[in-house]
Amino acid sequence: MLTPARNDMLTRVGPGTPMGDLLRRYWQPIAGASELETMPIKQVRLMGEDLVLYRDRGGRYGLIDRHCPHRRADMAYGWVEEKGIRCSYHGWLVDETGRCLEQPYEDTTNPKPSKAGCETKAYPVKECAGLLFAYLGPLPAPELPVWEPFTWRNGFREIVLADVPCNFFQCQENSIDPVHFEWMHDNWGSRLRGGDANAAPKHLKLKFEAFEHGFTYKRVREGQSEEDRYWTVGRVALWPNGFYLGSHFEWRVPVDDENTLSVAWFFVRVPKGREPYVQERVPTWKSPIRDENGRWITSHVINQDIVAWVGQGRIADRTKEHLRSSDIGITLMRNRFFEEFEAMAAGKEPGGIIRSANAAQCIALPNMAREINTEGLTRAEFDKDPILRQRLREFRHHVGQPAEVRREFVEAMGIA
């Protein structure tokens, strides 16, 4: 249970708030690079700031104030040029550093027009593994961490986005919540398919451990032992707002205090014998979360998680909760945020930020599935494993995978 003031500290994300300032110190995934191929400008709202993301014709990414520095027209309705983005109202041209390059009428009438003071807000953007990451914090920006899976080869990758109408922190608490798998995905999942028993293997034992880039959680369920990778390796609640499950990442990126962009990145290595597979472009698609009657969609794994997140309210009221031993990880994670807020208030840099370009190149995280993703499996081995077999058959994480993405996947995997 938290006081209202402590709940605010964990959930408010605007500039100048403890959480908003902390999250701004880390690169945040905000879009798929492939989204900008047909329409090079995308309006985005991030941590309460209205911005436009764009790729200019010279291939540079920019993330600037949604409003033009001249008289605040909407830059999302401008156009991109060789260098920069131009406002459609009076033609001012701005580049990715926020500099104003042209003011057409002034440039015509005044031999030496000064553009000083007409800079607009601009944040750095970097592409990695098909994702676009933005950094909204104080400069110099730290290195963008290249997590090891981003360097894996011979795999099919896809990016799935979902607009989730609740605060990001309750989504992130789900990253350190092993017991919900048993109830939400197994028992409820079975009931949604017509089952009528709580037959999922029970959790018998949990362990949570902190490390530089977050926490691992480990578990033993009925039928498993401490030899199992679920206990020896576990899964990662990635600091500060991600989740890493061995073959995919999920991030809960705050749009504002009451909305979150769910960004998920998936990797499936092609079966042995299908190499070399080179994916030229990582597809990005948006998953719906409501059905035609306005009810939350419950058929897919992350859609089920979203039902839990939004069900807690726009901002979960943590003054009314009752934490128990299943929630030890949640308390650990909250306490780490509170400690980091204090450290930042004392002028220190929060943990897990990488300043060495060398160190950032390939960062390994605890991973239960490294060999299957690096060495690969034969088709026969895929077929023997119930989860992997399922992965080839259909995309189980989010509803709504577009047919063309499925086609590309089928072709990559050789599963006609």
Closest to 113 (Cα-Cα) out of 122, 104, 121? 104
Number of residues that bind ligand FES (CB under 6 A): 9
Q: Which does 305 bind (CB under 5 to 8 A by kind): Fe ion, ligand FES, none?
A: Fe ion
Closest CB 234 distance from Fe ion, rounded Å: 15
Burial of 195: CB neighbours in 10 Å, binned 0-12, 13-18, 19+ = middle
Closest CB 78 distance from ligand FES, rounded Å: 8
Nearest residue to Fe ion on Cβ basis: 305
71 binds ligand FES per the rule CB under 6 A: yes
Are 45 and 263 in contact, with CB atoms under 8 Å apart?
A: no
Residue 346 in tokens = 């004392």
Closest CB 47 distance from ligand FES, rounded Å: 24
Q: Which stretch binds ligand FES (CB under 6 A): 22-30, 64-72, 377-385, 400-408?
A: 64-72
- Judged by beta carbon, residue 92 or residue 239, the one nearer ligand FES is 92
87 binds ligand FES per the rule CB under 6 A: yes
Are 221 and 182 in contact, with CB atoms under 8 Å apart?
A: yes
- Judged by beta carbon, residue 173 or residue 305, the one nearer Fe ion is 305
Q: Which of 173, 305, 327, 340 binds Fe ion (CB under 5 A)?
A: 305
Q: Which stretch binds Fe ion (CB under 5 A): 138-146, 298-306, 338-346, 386-394?
A: 298-306
Phi, psi of 242 (to 5 degrees): -130, 175
Q: Which does 64 bind (CB under 5 to 8 A by kind): Fe ion, ligand FES, none?
A: none
Q: Which of 8, 14, 89, 186 binds ligand FES (CB under 6 A)?
A: 89
Per-position DSSP letters for 175-207, written without gaps between them? GG-THHIIIIIIIIHHHHTT--S--SPPEEEEE
- Contact residues for 315 (Cβ-Cβ < 8 A; gap 6+): 7, 11, 166, 167, 170, 257, 258
Are 265 and 397 in contact, with CB atoms under 8 Å apart?
A: no
- Judged by beta carbon, residue 63 or residue 372, the one nearer ligand FES is 63
Query: How many residues would you count in the chain?
Result: 416
73 binds ligand FES per the rule CB under 6 A: yes
- Judged by beta carbon, residue 103 or residue 303, the one nearer Fe ion is 303
95 binds Fe ion per the rule CB under 5 A: no
Are 228 and 159 in contact, with CB atoms under 8 Å apart?
A: no
Q: Quickly count: other Cβ atoms within 10 Å of residue 150's Cβ.
A: 18
Closest CB 118 distance from ligand FES, rounded Å: 10
Q: Which residues bind ligand FES (CB under 6 A)?
A: 68, 70-71, 73, 87, 89-92
